[in-house]
Amino acid sequence: MSKENNNFVKEITNIEEDFAKWYTDIVIKADLADYTDSKGFIAIKPYGYAIWENIQKYEDEKFKQLGVKNVSFPVLIPETLLTKEKDHVEGFAPEVAWVTKGGEEELEERLCFRPTSETMFSTLYSKWLKSWRDLPFVYNQWCNVIRWEKETRPFLRSREFLWQEGHTIHETEQEARKRTLQMLDVYADTIENLLAIPVLKGRKTKKEQFAGAEETYTVETLMLDGRALQAGTSHYFGQNFSKPFNIKFQNREGNEEYAYQTSWGSSTRLIGAVIMAHGDNRGLKLPPKVAPIQAVIVPIAIHKEGVKEKAEEIYNMLNKNYRMEIDLRDNYTPGYKFNDWEMRGVPVRIELGPRDIEENKCVIVRRDTLEKIVIDIDELQEKLQEILDDIQLNMYEECKKVRDKRTTIAYNLDEFIKNINENQGYVKAMWCRK
């Protein structure tokens, strides 16, 4: 990375000097989120929330295509429910936050803020399920959860975060297992095609799997610093919850049988993945498909006759098909505006000045490569889509290059340790499946 790039935005810590601080600087400077007076809790600002809305919209459409129905369940769970599944409660006990009073009155039973909702879904499923004809239940909720994390970082690990959690019950083991992998594929599709980050799909070890699951599947992403980030998980429970929660149904032979269960989830951690997989010393770098603003028009010499009017004309033309912004601030220089929009990761900047207008041209600047492209204004509608598509593909390919460069092979433990120390990233090695 050139010295010029290293010093481009002085407010951002150099990515090569302190990756964690660089990440936090971008969260704040790109106006994604901010810290609050509640320790460990963040406020997601409009720009950050708009990214989440685009992720949510994409996933929700995929879910509905697969027959998923959205619901809303309580945020508070009675302690008796949480303790019904032994492995589950032991797995979440250190992260649970409790409510012990309502107003001035002590509660008869403690209520926990949901760290996840398997227990609440399970107790209601046991109430609603009667016959095999009722199955499957394929429900999801978009909600917040609270986990009392000791160390927090915006989007990656905060005490309250936004996510979706799907909970399904099925007539057969085969159907439940199919659903488990089906939802994992949705996450892989979201991350690769929307966020332009290649994923590695696989099954977690018994030690790392979800508390109460028989099998946990994950989509892992590799960040610029060589660390893997879990970006979504899908769990096959078998009958581990249906037995203690008595989720039974009358099967096709007229006998009682326990249902087979799954759960799956992704969260605002995906915003953190986008920052750490694509960002640079200029700030955030957003793939066009998920960017709240796909292109911004920055008029040059806005005070000169006709410049503002032409910029607004182009904005009105493009805003019908693209997520657009126009920067008409007259108290900042063009250079400041360029830096500001690059910091926010907007994929394309459209520059337009008096001479450009005379020649019926404009300048497009790509955020991913910083390449400048001069095109006719009459071709802008069509060319912009081509450029955005190319940016999306290029960002994926650049991310894939990082993954491939940081993937090594180890044939023994010594090689494994050596590879991790010298080239942090993925290491291909033998696994005993324990």
Are the C-beta atoms of residues 252 and 204 closer than 8 Å to each other?
no
Answer whether residue 49 is part of any domain.
yes
Answer whether residue 39 is part of any domain.
yes
Measured between alpha carbons, how far is 115 from 75 in angstroms, rounded to an integer? 9
Query: How much is the pLDDT for 34?
Result: 96
The verdict on 56 and 98 lying in the same domain is yes
The verdict on 130 and 263 lying in the same domain is yes
Beta-carbon neighbour count of residue 38 at 10 Å? 10
The pLDDT confidence band at residue 10, using thresholds 50, 70 and 90, is low
Give the tokens for residue 190: 């979201």
The pLDDT confidence band at residue 9, using thresholds 50, 70 and 90, is low
The verdict on 153 and 190 lying in the same domain is yes
Give pLDDT tens digits for 298-334.
999 888 988 999 999 999 999 999 999 999 998 899 9
Give pLDDT tens digits for 238-270.
999 999 999 999 999 999 999 999 999 999 999
Answer whether residue 302 is part of any domain.
yes
State which H helix or E strand residue 169 sits in: strand 160-170
Query: How much is the pLDDT for 303?
Result: 84
The verdict on 92 and 172 lying in the same domain is yes
Measured between alpha carbons, how far is 336 from 287 in angstroms, rounded to an integer? 22
The verdict on 274 and 301 lying in the same domain is no
Containing domain of residue 192, as a range? 3-278
Q: What is the CATH number of the domain that holds 202?
A: 3.30.930.10
Does the pLDDT at position 3 exceed 50? Answer: no
Are the C-beta atoms of residues 262 and 168 closer than 8 Å to each other?
yes
Answer whether residue 284 is part of any domain.
no
Query: How much is the pLDDT for 433?
Result: 66
Answer whether residue 23 is part of any domain.
yes
CA distances from 269 to 41, 95, 155, 157, 376 (A): 14, 17, 5, 8, 40
Answer whether residue 16 is part of any domain.
yes
Does the pLDDT at position 8 exceed 70? Answer: no
Measured between alpha carbons, how far is 75 from 90 in angstroms, rounded to an integer? 20
The verdict on 172 and 254 lying in the same domain is yes
Are the C-beta atoms of residues 244 and 85 closer than 8 Å to each other?
yes
Q: H helices then E strands: how many in the chain?
A: 13, 21
Answer whether residue 214 is part of any domain.
yes
Are the C-beta atoms of residues 36 and 154 closer than 8 Å to each other?
no
The verdict on 173 and 317 lying in the same domain is no
Q: For 179-228, give the DSSP string.
A: HHHHHHHHHHHIIIIIS----EEEE--TTTS-TT-SEEEEEEEE-TTS-E
Q: Answer with the one of 368, 388, 408 that is the final residue of a domain.
A: 388
Answer whether residue 259 is part of any domain.
yes
Computed over its alpha carbons, how large is the radius of gyration of the chain?
A: 25
Give pLDDT tens digits for 273-308.
999 999 999 999 999 999 999 999 999 988 898 899
The verdict on 267 and 304 lying in the same domain is no
Does the pLDDT at position 35 exceed 90? Answer: yes
Give the Cα-Cα-Cα angle 169, 175, 178 (nearest 5 degrees): 110
The verdict on 344 and 207 lying in the same domain is no
The verdict on 272 and 309 lying in the same domain is no
The verdict on 221 and 102 lying in the same domain is yes
Give pLDDT tens digits for 100-128.
999 999 999 999 999 999 999 999 999 99
Mean pLDDT on 85-91 = 66
Cβ neighbours for 90, distance < 8 A, ≥ 6 positions apart = 211
Domain count, the chain: 2
- Residue carrying structure tokens 């609440």: 120
Q: What is the CATH number of the domain that holds 326?
A: 3.40.50.800
The verdict on 37 and 155 lying in the same domain is yes
What are the residues facing 310 on neighbouring strands? none
% of the chain with per-residue pLDDT over 90:
85
